[in-house]
């Protein structure tokens, strides 16, 4: 029903406001009103008509709409819409932008609808801030170099986590880098002086983003909210670094790839990691991946340990986000931190 779609748009609007995008928050409220009035957004949302609110949010339909419009802005194919979108140093007018968006939805309906056929695929590079403490903990506790294997890596930007410069409260970690990742850090610091050496790294995704393709690069940028200019700058810098480092992501199923690639190896700590991915897997896939990782953990030793590091919502509170670490041998699971979904804040518990 259209009222469920409108409700989902307003729910995502509140999330956007909470996460620091007032422009997208207002745009979604205007989209909900347009839908209720039978306006041009109705045709774009038609595939989800009759779906309940939970399913609409799970399919990230409001984010698909926002991404499609931002992709059109970035393409330059709708100059009036591009002109109405946020720019550094200028106050964005969401109502004016929506008027242009409504026109664009008629003129560019086929392209927008095609963009929305696929679920959002983001690669928020500042999630590396959230995972950093886990990598440092693993390095300190094992005293071994790291083999890093990322599941659902998208474009693989967080595969280069050790090549970024981090600002954590009054401390810093990492090399001098064009990718600089500040965060609001609270609690104790992780073991910043741990010796870190990454001797192997690889990544998979069901549908990896090919950064050499300008259309796929643009799609990645389109899912960053347009009034969050620092996030856009960070993403562009991380893309440039990944291209320079020739980062590759293998197209593969997470369960099969993990079983094939990420078993323990003597003389190194093997780290399986992921961020904001688990919730999008069907329950049977979650169970299969957990079983696979736990099976690999059985074969771990002190000279060939296995770590499972993840940034995901806790099972009891899908609105939150935390970092958990399980380390074998032993298989102890720990909550290391509560974190912001985009890495803007980390509350370190460990």
Helix/strand/coil (H, E, C) string of 100-168?
Answer: HHHHHHHHCHHHHHHHHCCCCCCCCCCHHHHHHHHHHHHHHHHCCCEEEEECCCCCCHHHHHHHCEEEE
* Residue 305 pLDDT: 98
DSSP structure class, residue 178 = S
Q: Read off the pLDDT of each residue in 320-345 and give the average, rounded to a whole number.
A: 95
Residue 198 CA: distances (Å) to CA of 147, 255, 268: 6, 23, 9
Q: How confident is the model at residue 119 (pLDDT cuts 50, 70, 90)?
A: confident
Tell me what pLDDT residue 337 has.
97
Task: Kindly report, residue by residue over 271-320, the tens digit of the pLDDT.
Answer: 999 999 888 888 999 999 999 999 999 999 999 999 999 999 987 766 68
pLDDT at 1 over 90: no
The structural domains of the chain, with segments of one domain joined by +, span 2-116, 127-348
Judge whether residue 4 has pLDDT over 70.
Answer: yes
* 8 Å CB contact between 133 and 346: yes
Residue ranges of E strands in the chain: 146-150, 165-168, 171-173, 180-186, 198-205, 250-251, 269-275, 306-312, 322-328, 332-339, 345-348
Q: Which residues contact 210 (CB under 8 A, 6 or more apart)?
A: 155, 216
User: How far is 27 from 66, CA to CA, in rounded Å?
Assistant: 8
pLDDT band at 120 (very low <50, low <70, confident <90, very high): confident
Please list the residues that pair with 202 across neighbouring strands.
Answer: 149
What average pLDDT is seen over the chain?
A: 95
The confidence score (pLDDT) of residue 318 equals: 61
Positive or negative, the Cα torsion across 195, 201, 207, 209?
positive
CA–CA dist 194, 182 (Å, integer): 20
Q: Render 182-215 in DSSP notation, one character per residue.
A: EEEEESS---TTS---EEEEEEEESS---TTSHH
Beta strand 306-312 with 322-328 is antiparallel
d(CA 271, CA 126): 19
Least confident of 132-141, 149-158, 229-238, 311-320: 311-320
pLDDT tens digit sequence for 89-103: 888 899 999 999 999
């Amino acid at each position: 029903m259209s009222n469920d779609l409108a409700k989902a748009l307003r729910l995502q609007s509140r999330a956007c406001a909470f996460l620091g995008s007032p422009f997208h928050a207002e745009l979604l409220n205007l989209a909900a009103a347009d839908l209720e009035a039978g306006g041009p957004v109705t045709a774009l949302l038609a595939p989800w008509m009759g779906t309940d609110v939970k399913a609409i949010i799970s399919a990230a339909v409001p984010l698909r709409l926002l991404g499609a419009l931002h992709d059109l802005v970035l393409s330059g194919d709708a100059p009036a819409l591009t002109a109405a979108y946020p720019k550094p140093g200028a106050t964005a007018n969401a109502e004016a932008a929506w008027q242009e968006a409504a026109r664009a939805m008629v003129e560019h309906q086929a392209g927008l609808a095609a963009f929305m056929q696929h679920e959002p695929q983001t690669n928020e590079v500042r999630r590396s801030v959230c995972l950093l403490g886990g990598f440092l903990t693993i390095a300190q506790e094992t005293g071994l170099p790291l083999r890093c294997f990322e599941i659902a890596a998208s474009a693989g930007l967080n595969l280069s986590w050790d090549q970024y410069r981090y600002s954590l409260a009054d401390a810093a970690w990492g090399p001098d880098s064009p990718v600089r990742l500040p965060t609001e850090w609270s609690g104790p610091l992780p073991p910043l002086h741990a010796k870190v050496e990454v001797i192997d790294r690889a990544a998979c995704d069901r549908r990896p983003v090919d950064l050499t393709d300008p259309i796929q690069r643009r799609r990645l940028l389109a899912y960053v909210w347009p009034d969050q200019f620092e996030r856009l700058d960070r993403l562009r810098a991380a893309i440039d670094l990944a291209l320079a480092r020739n980062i590759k992501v293998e197209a593969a199923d997470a369960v099969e790839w993990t079983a094939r690639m990420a078993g323990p190896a003597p003389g190194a700590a093997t780290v399986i990691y992921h961020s904001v991915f688990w919730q999008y897997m069907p329950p049977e896939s979650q169970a299969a991946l957990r079983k696979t990782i736990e099976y690999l953990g059985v074969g771990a030793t002190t000279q060939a340990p296995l770590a499972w590091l993840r940034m995901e919502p806790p099972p009891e509170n899908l609105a939150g986000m935390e970092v958990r670490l399980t380390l074998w041998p032993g298989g102890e699971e720990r909550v290391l931190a509560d974190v912001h979904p985009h890495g803007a804040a980390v509350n370190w518990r460990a």
